[in-house]
A and B are shown apart, each in its own frame.
Chain A
Amino acid sequence: MSPSAVPLMTIFAIIGLGVVIGFLAGVRRKMNLEQWTVGARGFGMLLMFLLMAGEIYTTFSFLGASGWAYSRGGPTLYILAYLSLGAGVSFFILPNIWELGRKYKLQTQSDFFRLRYGNNYLAAFVCVVGVIFLIPYLQLQITGLGIIVNVASFDGIGRTPAMAISVALLAAFVLASGIRAVAWISVLKDVLMLVAAVSIGIGIPYVHYGGIGPMFTALAQARPAHLTMPGATTNLGHSWYITTVLLSALGGYMWPHAFGAAFTAKSGDTLRRNAVVMPLYTITLAFILFAGFTAVMVVPGLPDGDLALLTIVRQSFPAWFLGVIGGAGALTAIVPASILILTAATLFAKNLCRPIFAPTMTDDQVAKLARLSVVVLSAISLYLAVHSSTTLVSLLLLGYAGVTQFFPGVVLGLYWKRVTMPGVFAGMIAGVATVAYLILTHQDPFLGWSAGFVALCINFLITIVLSLITRAYLPPLDATPELN
């Protein structure tokens, strides 16, 4: 038996177990659009936590965070900060969104914009931007899956076939079972992820240095600059850290899928309690960083930082354990990727095609179109993943920079009654344009600030100024009776 057989079989066994759990979860429920996308709004505290944890802690946290600890050093700490702070932001936004969702039967982020600003074009724009920036995130998961199978097979299976298999599996799985299946697979994923993180975070430094303390002492002596910011980079200093943490924390729940997950909750209170426990899950990431930092001196000179975690696992543990880690990693890619595909497909069918091209479609036809879009979107992301070589963190930061541009429209829409549709629309266009310009011309970070944050500031400014100006042309809002 070749050395790659054991880890590969373990990985596929774990994925197979996940798929079985998923199919079982979806089996006895009638799948209409409401059940498929928002689980009939019946998720309690536990399922909610699993769904949120399932979609926020992705293969990015697994391979990307350790990859940055390896290749960049100190700046990777931003990941620990933003995940906890993002939960704090969700505390103030999601319960209100949920309340509106229940009252007006909202299923997607774009539905919220249409309700609040009453404009189909704004809603369609939100939908298009959401889907566009979901794609790098989806691509990230597929790239991650490719890396896992590739490393676990000792380079026996190339990345491209590995990615193709994973995508086919993903699409089949999403089509069959909808959001409830995804939440249930998260159970398996979370348990494995916890075991994997703690055992590699403690085990790897122990194998090579005799413990976490000696490992950090050795690293601090050999490469003292690596452990603080800007680490191995020249431009990721403290101002980058602050702006990136703010950008990601504010944007964390602006992802169409995270925003949409709010609608699956049973009550607004569920979401609040969820925000209280969510930060604790981030602690597992600290362990993954330990492994990444150990790799700096043990496996130096890797061409791609994202390979660091699995390469050092392969060197430190027996083959079957590489399989377990790989399986956990594969699930942390499959779970979020399913949610991403599901969200993007629903957005595309329900919020773009129906209102703009075919207003007479029934909910059932929309559901069919959504299923078709699952296949198309999977194929697009696979294509991009095969033809691109960006690091996982860069892909994620690109997505965050984009979706955070929804933040002014959401938060002002909820809490500032003078905000107007033209203000939000113009601000969002300016924000997205700034992101596209700065990132495509490689000016991120811009003057030491995260490009997405610069765009967010411009977005806020334009939204507020234009809202104050355009207000005069709208019916006087003061005539509206004070609510509550």
Chain B
Amino acid sequence: MEVSPTTRKLTDSPRTEVCNATPNPLSRGAILSEPVPVKKPSLLALLLALIPFVAMCFSVALWDRIDPMILGVPFNLAWLVCWIMLSSLCMWAAYRAEAARDKKERGAR
């Protein structure tokens, strides 16, 4: 990753900076209040992670019933157990999507 001027300023020594600072509620701690460098997730990964939320959370009214029982377990409980496994699968797909993007970015640079 390129080192921007901000990053360098921050790396200098955030701890000494803070330890010696006079506590002042109005002090904005100028350098530290600047945005920290982070990597944004890809849209695909976000959409994949949203699937379990729709299935296990928002759609509760559609599956919260006893019948039909699946393997002797009420439908709502069986539905959630099934989606626990599927949500792991969704996160795996999101992981692959992120990994593929990282690789592509490294290749492009």
A206 to chain B, nearest CB (A): 12
**Closest residue on chain A to residue B14 by CB atoms:** A104
Does B36 contact A115, Cβ atoms closer than 8 Å? yes
Does B64 contact A74, Cβ atoms closer than 8 Å? yes
**Closest residue on chain B to residue A228 by CB atoms:** B64
A63 to chain B, nearest CB (A): 19
Does B76 contact A227, Cβ atoms closer than 8 Å? yes
A245: which B residues are within 8 A, CB to CB?
56-57
Partner of B28 from the list A249, A355, A421 (CB cut-off 8 Å) is: A421
A117: which B residues are within 8 A, CB to CB?
29, 32-33
B23: which A residues are within 8 A, CB to CB?
120-121, 355-356
Interface size counted on chain B using CB atoms at 8 A: 64
A472 to chain B, nearest CB (A): 13
A119: which B residues are within 8 A, CB to CB?
25, 27-29, 33
Q: Count chain B CB atoms within 10 A of each CB in A119, A217, A278, A356 and give the residue with the most.
A: A119
A417: which B residues are within 8 A, CB to CB?
35
Does A96 contact B39, Cβ atoms closer than 8 Å? yes
Does B20 contact A216, Cβ atoms closer than 8 Å? no
B65 to chain A, nearest CB (A): 6
Question: With the chains together, A277 CA to B83 CA distance in Å?
Answer: 13
B14: which A residues are within 8 A, CB to CB?
104-105, 115
Specify the main secondary structure of chain B where it touches its partner.
helix
A34 near B: Cβ within 8 Å?
A: no
Q: Count chain A CB atoms within 10 A of each CB in B2, B23, B45 and give the residue with the most.
A: B23
Question: With the chains together, A289 CA to B36 CA distance in Å?
Answer: 43
A475: which B residues are within 8 A, CB to CB?
30
Known: A217-B72, A272-B98. A241 touches B60 (CB 8 A): yes
- B18-45: CB near A (< 8 Å → 1, else 0) gives 1111010101111111111111110001
Does B41 contact A92, Cβ atoms closer than 8 Å? yes
Interface size class of A (residues with CB under 8 A): 35 or more
Specify the main secondary structure of chain A where it touches its partner.
helix
B5: which A residues are within 8 A, CB to CB?
481
Known: A85-B52, A115-B32, A118-B29. A483 touches B37 (CB 8 A): yes
B85 near A: Cβ within 8 Å?
A: yes
A349 near B: Cβ within 8 Å?
A: no
B36: which A residues are within 8 A, CB to CB?
100, 115-116, 413-414
Does B95 contact A272, Cβ atoms closer than 8 Å? yes
Question: With the chains together, A77 CA to B37 CA distance in Å?
Answer: 38
Does A84 contact B20, Cβ atoms closer than 8 Å? no
Interface residues of A in 58-89 (CB under 8 A from B): 74, 77, 80-81, 84-85, 87-89
A241: which B residues are within 8 A, CB to CB?
57, 60, 64
Question: With the chains together, A91 CA to B22 CA distance in Å?
Answer: 37
B19: which A residues are within 8 A, CB to CB?
354-355, 359-360
Given contact pairs A92-B46, A104-B10, a sample of 5 additional A-B residue pairs in the complex whose CB atoms are under 8 Å apart: A220-B74, A414-B36, A414-B38, A481-B5, A483-B35
Q: Which residue numbers of B lie inside 8 Å of A, CB to CB?
A: 1-2, 4-7, 10-11, 14-15, 18-21, 23, 25, 27-41, 45-46, 49, 52-53, 56-58, 60-61, 64-66, 69, 71-74, 76-77, 80-81, 83-85, 87-88, 90-92, 94-95, 98
Task: Supply 7 A–B pairs (Cβ within 8 Å), ascending by A.
Answer: A84-B56, A118-B33, A213-B71, A279-B87, A280-B88, A360-B19, A477-B35
